Structure formats: C-alpha cells, structure tokens
Amino acid sequence: MSTEVIETNLELMHLDLVTFINDEPLDMLEEFTDEEIVTEVISIARRLLHRDFCNGHLKKGKIDYLYHVDNKQFGSVSMSNNDDSYGVSKTMYYPFYKDDEDGYFAGLCSLAQMINEAWYLANN
C-alpha cells in the first residue's frame, strides 16, 4: 500500500480518534481541544511513516511544548515546556504501529495516550 493511501486512511480515522480522546478522557483536554490533539497526533503519525522519529511542538498561549517521538521497539514520547519541566512516556512496543485487528487506529490511540502521559508528567 502506498504512503499516500495510508495517509488518506489516517485522515479518515479523524472522527474516530476524536471520539476515543473524549471517551478516554485525556488529561490534555484541560488545555487543548480534542481537534488540536487529533490534528497533532495524525501529523506525527504521518511523519513516522517516513522515519522512526520526529520532533515538533504544541503551542498554547505562551507555552510552547516541545516533543520528541522515538518510534522503535521500547520507544518513547518525551515532552517539555517553557519551565524546563519534562515528561517521558515509555512503551515495550512502538508508540505508533499497525495492528492486525484495528490497523493504524490502534497505533493512533497508543500515540495519543503516550503524548498525553508525557504532557501530564511535564506539568505535574
């Protein structure tokens, strides 16, 4: 399957991921909207299709959260904020992956949960 088709499939999971984030509910919803979280999760997943890591930032007001995703076995998601606080979420598997049963949706949910955990640890 081509990368373009996979990226299109990720976008089609947008509404399901919004539902997952609200049902969970993620701690990040205190600061970010569900749409902001989903947009960033899908953006990260698209970049991870091409390489096994990515860096970026989530900006909210004066706070600029910097993150790094290491998408390999025993991978991690780390996040820091302007106060030099940081959090790391680790996994025994991959932060973003394709599951035989749920396809990339399982990986998107995993990635969202790990980003949320790193954000929570950076703030608490």
Q: Judge whether residue 1 has pLDDT over 70.
A: no
Q: CA-CA distance, 95 to 76, in Å (whole number)?
A: 7
Q: What is the pLDDT of residue 54?
A: 97
Number of domains within the chain = 1
Instruction: Give the C-alpha distances (Å, rounded to integers) separating 112 from 2, 83, 119.
Output: 24, 23, 10
Per residue in 45-67, pLDDT (tens digit) is: 999 999 999 999 999 988 899 99
pTM over 0.75: yes
Reported as a single tens digit per residue, the pLDDT across 5-51 is 777 788 889 999 999 999 998 999 999 999 999 999 999 999 999 99
Element (H, E) at 80: strand 76-80
Which structural domain range is residue 90 located in?
3-123
Rounded mean pLDDT of 98-112? 94
